[in-house]
Amino acid sequence: MTYDVPFNKPTLVGEEMQYIQQALAGMHISGDGSFSKQVHRLLEQVLGVPRVLLTTSCTHALEMSAILLNIQAGDEVIVPSFTFVSTVNAFVLRGAKPVFVDVRPDTLNMDENKLEALITPRTRAIVPVHYAGVACEMDAIMAIAQKHNVAVVEDNAHALFGKYKGKYLGTFGVLATQSFHETKNFTCGEGGALLVNDPKLIERAEIIREKGTNRSRFFRGQVDKYTWVDIGSSFLPSDMLAAFLYAQLEHRDEIQAKRAQIWQRYHDHLRDWADEHHVQLPTVPAHVDQAYHMYYMLMPSLDVRTKLIAYLKSKQIGSVFHYLPLHLSDMGKQFGGREGDCPVTEDVSDRLVRLPFFNSLSEVEQLYVIEALHAFTEWS
């Protein structure tokens, strides 16, 4: 039997259309309608966050963070080079200079041991990314941030419902951002959220999200007219998207259990094979509850990875590499990035491959992928 297994496929839980129809019937399809409020409440209650605000994307939640922290020209922000471009661009848009930190060779997360040496009097923020849904070393990162009075913004796009030492990711930093893009564990096509952990920032976050106006206070009856009070933009999604997302989030336990099963099946079936062929499988520290965002492998070389991706493609299996080092991108070089700055990032970026991983991936499809991997021969 052969199968056609894409790398990713959005999976519906069933109630998405019904909830969108409810939003339509209620005649409130702009932002902050009843479904947006239900998503806010659900995430606030489950995570224990004082305020959650849906946004049009994780990128926009990151941009809001940079505005909220008053990031200015000349400020420095410490970011991993091994991340999605938005983690960095959001701060660069405010005039900040990105300072790239390398990742740990085991979890591929920001290397907390290399962090303190990068702090200068101009450092304003540290942005950890919990890669693949596995937590960064938050005790060490928070201690360094507190010592130097620097804000932490967690890019939690991969790690909603993941934990570090029993505490939810997204609750460590003063701010944290989520993505509900089609490729993430929970989706509404395009979407995101800002988690505001410092109550002092809530009111200004609401203003920035509502075009720099105090419209949120007006809707709550706290002021009798709304007006322009700060800088801002339009960061709130339509309630139709919130309706779609609410359906997905209601099934969060089931979705995470399914993803855990997929992750574990890859891990169990590939362990011996990986040892034999010097392939590095993901590391999940014992004190971390991961969010099962992806399954990746580090192949022995760029050449073997290239051959593996082509081989899997010939078997109708989608596999992809991931981030190119940002410090070596055209923009990264303009900020002084040079080869050798982040040696672990440069190395793993060449060797990493991600396997098909989505909520509706069936056991037979997955076993087909595993069997194909076992039959791969082009190791040199």
Ligand X SMILES: *Cc1c(COP(=O)(O)O)cnc(C)c1O
The site that binds ligand X (CB under 6 A) totals a number of residues, namely: 14
Positions in 82-111 near ligand X (CB under 6 A): 83-84, 86-87
Only segment of 57-65, 212-220, 302-310, 341-349 that touches ligand X (CB under 6 A)? 57-65
Distance CA(27)–CA(17), nearest Å, equals: 15
- Rounded to a whole number of angstroms, the minimum distance from the CB of residue 313 to ligand X is 23
- Rounded to a whole number of angstroms, the minimum distance from the CB of residue 217 to ligand X is 27
Q: Which of 303-311's residues contact partners 24+ apart within 8 Å by CB, and which partners?
A: 304/378, 304/379, 304/380, 305/350, 305/351, 305/352, 305/353, 307/378, 308/353, 308/376, 308/378, 309/353, 311/372, 311/376, 311/378
- Rounded to a whole number of angstroms, the minimum distance from the CB of residue 174 to ligand X is 18
Only segment of 67-75, 117-125, 153-161, 268-276 that touches ligand X (CB under 6 A)? 153-161
SS3 state of residue 155: strand
Rg (CA), the chain: 21
- Rounded to a whole number of angstroms, the minimum distance from the CB of residue 90 to ligand X is 9
Which of 36, 59, 214, 366 is close enough to bind ligand X by CB under 6 A?
A: 59
The residues, ordered by sequence, that sit 6+ positions from 34 with a Cβ below 8 Å of its Cβ are 23, 26, 28, 239
Only segment of 51-59, 204-212, 226-234, 280-288 that touches ligand X (CB under 6 A)? 51-59
Q: Which of 246, 229, 138 is nearest to 193 (CA)?
A: 246
DSSP 341: S
Residue type, position 139, single letter: D
- Rounded to a whole number of angstroms, the minimum distance from the CB of residue 58 to ligand X is 3
194 close to 177: Cβ distance less than 8 angstroms:
yes
Which of 96, 157, 159, 317 is close enough to bind ligand X by CB under 6 A?
A: 157
Positions in 164-223 near ligand X (CB under 6 A): 179, 181, 192
- Rounded to a whole number of angstroms, the minimum distance from the CB of residue 305 to ligand X is 20
Distance CA(324)–CA(105), nearest Å, equals: 16
Q: Which of 11, 107, 5 is nearest to 373 (CA)?
A: 5
SS3 state of residue 228: strand
Measured from the CB atom, is 129 or 207 closer to ligand X?
Answer: 129
Q: Give the number of other Cβ atoms within 10 Å of residue 329's Cβ.
A: 16
Measured from the CB atom, is 236 or 304 closer to ligand X?
Answer: 236
CA separation, residue 363 to residues 248, 293, 317, 340 (Å) = 22, 18, 14, 42
Does position 58 bind ligand X by CB under 6 A? yes
Only segment of 78-86, 220-228, 239-247, 359-367 that touches ligand X (CB under 6 A)? 78-86
372 close to 3: Cβ distance less than 8 angstroms:
no
Positions in 129-148 near ligand X (CB under 6 A): 129
Report the interhelical angle of 202-209 vs 58-68 (nearest 10°).
Answer: 120
Measured from the CB atom, is 101 or 129 closer to ligand X?
Answer: 129
- Rounded to a whole number of angstroms, the minimum distance from the CB of residue 179 to ligand X is 3
Binding-site string for ligand X from residue 219 to residue 258, where x marks contact by CB under 6 A and - marks none: ----------------------------------------
Measured from the CB atom, is 234 or 316 closer to ligand X?
Answer: 234
Show the tokens assigned to 378. 């082009």
- Rounded to a whole number of angstroms, the minimum distance from the CB of residue 55 to ligand X is 8
Measured from the CB atom, is 241 or 270 closer to ligand X?
Answer: 241
Show the tokens assigned to 61. 């939640």
Which of 36, 57, 187, 345 is close enough to bind ligand X by CB under 6 A?
A: 57
Q: Which of 343, 331, 339 is nearest to 104 (CA)?
A: 343
- Rounded to a whole number of angstroms, the minimum distance from the CB of residue 78 to ligand X is 15
Distance CA(162)–CA(164), nearest Å, equals: 7
Across the strands, what pairs with 168? 163
Binding-site string for ligand X from residue 321 to residue 350, where x marks contact by CB under 6 A and - marks none: ------------------------------
Measured from the CB atom, is 109 or 214 closer to ligand X?
Answer: 109
Q: Which residues bind ligand X (CB under 6 A)?
A: 57-59, 83-84, 86-87, 129, 155, 157-158, 179, 181, 192
